[in-house]
Amino acid sequence: MISTGTFERQWMDDYLDLLNYARQIGDNAWQQEIINTMNDAKHRMEQESLERRREELWQQFDAINAKMLELYRQLRETENASIAERLSEEVWELKTRRIEIGRQLYAIR
């Protein structure tokens, strides 16, 4: 299966070839149409890339929440102080990571 990045590069290369051909034959209208298509596609590809990144971040955020719930459950059940301390440290690290992901999500909204 061809990757998205490879497909996008191949598509852009093909359109650059078309643009070069349109220039060679002097078809200005076709050149402008190709340029507009390439600009639209570039914008669309950037938006799709941002959406994929946003989805990845939300999946990470949800996974962290699930892990935190499990750690909190373990904290409630444990009577061992050293285990409780280790679990608390893990929760703290996950909270920090969740904040970082939240900032990344805010930045790409």
pLDDT, tens digit, 9 for 90 and up, residues 6-57: 888 898 999 999 999 999 999 999 999 999 999 999 888 889 889 999 999 9
Range of the domain at 53: 4-107
Three-state DSSP at 61 gives: helix
Residue 1: pLDDT above 90? no
Number of domains the chain is built from:
1
Non-local (6+) Cβ contacts of 66 within 8 A are none
pLDDT, tens digit, 9 for 90 and up, residues 53-104: 999 999 999 999 999 999 999 999 999 999 999 999 999 999 999 999 999 9
pLDDT for 2: 61
pLDDT for 4: 66
Q: How far is 76 from 55, CA to CA, in rounded Å?
A: 32
